[in-house]
Amino acid sequence: MVDALGVAVVGFGWMGRVHTQAYARVRHHYPQLALRPELVTVAEEVPGRAEEAAAQFGFASTARDWREVAADPRVRAVSITAPNFLHREIGVAMAAAGKHIWIEKPVGLGPEDARAVADAVAEAGVQGAVGFNYRNAPAVEAARELIDSGGIGTVTHVRVRLFSDYAAHPEGALTWRYERERGGSGVLGDLASHGADLARFLLGDIASLTADTAVFLPERARPAGATAGHSRAAGGELGPVENEDYVSCLLRFASGARGVLEACRVSVGEQNNYGFEVHGTRGAVFWDFRRMNEFGVSRGTAYQDQPVSTVYVGPGDGEFGAFQPGAANAMGYDDLKVIEAYRFLRSVAEGAPYGATVGDAVHGAVVLEAMARSAESGSWVTVDGPGAL
Ligand SMILES: NC(=O)c1ccc[n+]([C@@H]2O[C@H](COP(=O)([O-])OP(=O)(O)OC[C@H]3O[C@@H](n4cnc5c(N)ncnc54)[C@H](O)[C@@H]3O)[C@@H](O)[C@H]2O)c1
């Protein structure tokens, strides 16, 4: 028996589109899902954008104000894909209205926002999924299993990198991403949030850290009109970039392992160079998002000159089998969001969380806030447990 579940999307920029496509595709890959998402409504503040989305994807209605979505009894689950400064207000209101939420990272402007959304979700007894999509990659799940099973010995250290050029162009518009009030942090919330989540997913809790941040492009042109994604604005009035372009961070994990996390949004020549190298006493595992469906493994008892193999993920690794019949048939970025949609809807159907939750977002936000504090003080800081908030 498959029940219909009315879903809404709030904010139809890049992520709004990707969530919508994931709802449309999820049952193609997961016919066993006990729920069938129905696109009820899309809320957008830019005139015409919701209507275009409805025409293209078949939402039954549109709204200019997300509060209409909160009050809409047809809607039982909501994707919150608006800019960061709206996450808390919208997330809390949707949960309080009894809607399950699938909210984008980093969940607000800081740990207090993420905590408020997590508390609202817990109080309402709804599900709260979060867009930490990189942990959904089958190769990342396989790497985690290898690490957890002792396949590379005792983990000693990790390097996590997230380099991108999305903000490298001098004409990149001064969108909400570069403002403290609407974006919060810069590359910390945007990319390092994924890195902190991956580090914890693979190696467990981070106990302390020291970080350094920098702004490399201090001014950008204000856009003339509405923006989506990484728009350009040539010749506009210049305004200040208020948050960091770059972060480097040394990590100490609760396990005793050490790590380095580095993220930059203005790295010319780097396109989505996201990945990790995890080292253990008997081996290592390597992953690069740009070659998402494979990972490098060195394991055995040779210690020195130990060969490194490339493993193509296949059915049996994470959710690969829901997408491709055999190894080395490529999955893509949007498929990670289909997996996320599946886990969210399964959580709703079964009343228990699958995949990353708003609780994970609180953990991540605490780590990011510790990085910001350390960058300001220039010293090592302890990462408080999320319960300290
Ligand atoms: N998981 C990922 O890989 C990933 C990638 C990119 C962005 N994100 C996250 O997704 C969120 C959105 O990012 P994006 O790249 O899609 O941004 P975007 O700027 O492309 O889209 C945001 C949309 O929200 C709309 N909006 C703004 N205020 C609104 C309001 N009051 N009501 C309704 N709509 C409103 C904007 O008009 C825009 O269409 C951010 O939190 C970002 O951190 C996650």
CA 278 / ligand 1 centre spacing (Å): 32
Residue 146, sorted as left (phi over 0), alpha (psi -120 to 50) or beta, turns out to be alpha
Mean pLDDT of 319-341: 98
Task: Output the DSSP codes for 39-60.
Answer: EEEEE-SSTTHHHHHHHHH--S
Mean pLDDT of 248-271: 98
Q: Which CATH architecture best describes the domain 3-133?
A: 3-Layer(aba) Sandwich (3.40)
Ligand 1 contact, 369 CB (< 6 A):
no
User: Does the pLDDT at position 108 exceed 80?
Assistant: yes
pLDDT at site 221 = 87
Q: Domain ranges for the chain, please list them.
A: 3-133, 134-331+363-377
User: Does the pLDDT at position 340 exceed 80?
Assistant: yes
- Beta-carbon count within 10 A of 265 CB: 28
> Is 248 in a helix, a strand, or coil?
strand
Ligand 1 contact, 142 CB (< 6 A):
no
Mean pLDDT of 226-251: 86
pLDDT at site 386 = 67
Residue count (the chain): 389
Tell whether pTM > 0.85: yes
Ligand 1 contact, 197 CB (< 6 A):
no
More confident of the two residues 379 and 2: 379
Compute φ and ψ for 316, nearest 5 degrees: 105, -25
C-alpha to C-alpha distance for 316 and 295, rounded to whole angstroms: 15
Going by pLDDT thresholds of 50, 70 and 90, the confidence category of residue 233 is confident
User: Does the pLDDT at position 215 exceed 80?
Assistant: yes
Measured N-to-C along each axis, helices 358-377 and 111-124 cross at an angle, to the nearest 10 degrees, of 160
CA 10 / ligand 1 centre spacing (Å): 9
Edge-to-edge strands, sheet with 35-43: 61-63, 35-43, 3-10, 77-80, 100-103, 128-130
Looking at residue 192, the DSSP 8-state letter turns out to be I
Name the token pair of 359. Answer: 């609780």
> Comparing 3-133 with 134-331+363-377, is the CATH topology the same?
no
Residue identifier of the C-alpha nearest atom 29 of ligand 1: 45
More confident of the two residues 226 and 253: 253
Name the token pair of 195. Answer: 């890195």
CB-hemisphere CA count at 13 Å for 237?
3
Task: Output the DSSP codes for 214-228.
Answer: E-S--EEEPPSS---
- Beta-carbon count within 10 A of 380 CB: 13
User: Could you tell me if 79 and 102 are in contact, meaning their C-beta atoms sit under 8 angstroms apart?
Assistant: yes
CA 296 / ligand 1 centre spacing (Å): 33
CA 12 / ligand 1 centre spacing (Å): 7
Compute φ and ψ for 302, nearest 5 degrees: -80, -30
Going by pLDDT thresholds of 50, 70 and 90, the confidence category of residue 237 is confident
pLDDT at site 385 = 73
Mean pLDDT of 324-331: 97
The pLDDT tens digits of the residues spanning 28-64 come to: 999 999 999 999 999 999 999 999 999 999 999 999 9
Ligand 1 contact, 228 CB (< 6 A):
yes
Taking CA 130 as the corner, what is the angle to CA 315 and CA 35, rounded to the nearest 5 degrees? 65
Ligand 1 contact, 105 CB (< 6 A):
yes
Mean pLDDT of 64-91: 97
Question: Which helix (H) or strand (E) is 158 found in, with range?
Answer: strand 155-163
Q: Of 82, 80, 13, whose CA–CA distance to 52 is shortest?
A: 13
pLDDT at site 389 = 61
User: Does the pLDDT at position 218 exceed 70?
Assistant: yes
> Poorest-confidence range of 83-87, 144-148, 225-229?
225-229
Q: What CATH class has 134-331+363-377?
A: alpha beta
User: Does the pLDDT at position 381 exceed 90?
Assistant: yes
User: Does the pLDDT at position 7 exceed 90?
Assistant: yes
Task: Output the DSSP codes for 163-185.
Answer: E--TTTSTTB---GGG-HHHH-S
Mean pLDDT of 187-206: 97
pLDDT at site 228 = 72
Partners of 196 in the beta sheet?
none
C-alpha to C-alpha distance for 386 and 235, rounded to whole angstroms: 44
Going by pLDDT thresholds of 50, 70 and 90, the confidence category of residue 388 is low
Ligand 1 contact, 120 CB (< 6 A):
no
Compute φ and ψ for 57, nearest 5 degrees: -110, -10
pLDDT at site 170 = 86
- HEC string for 321-383: HHCCCCCCCCCCHHHHHHHHHHHHHHHHHHCCCCCCEHHHHHHHHHHHHHHHHHHHHCCCEEC
pLDDT at site 182 = 86
The pLDDT tens digits of the residues spanning 13-26 come to: 999 999 999 999 99
User: Does the pLDDT at position 226 exceed 80?
Assistant: no
- For the CA of 132, the closest atom of ligand 1 is 1
CA 75 / ligand 1 centre spacing (Å): 20
Going by pLDDT thresholds of 50, 70 and 90, the confidence category of residue 387 is low
Going by pLDDT thresholds of 50, 70 and 90, the confidence category of residue 223 is confident
User: Does the pLDDT at position 71 exceed 70?
Assistant: yes
Mean pLDDT, all residues of the chain: 96
CA 161 / ligand 1 centre spacing (Å): 23
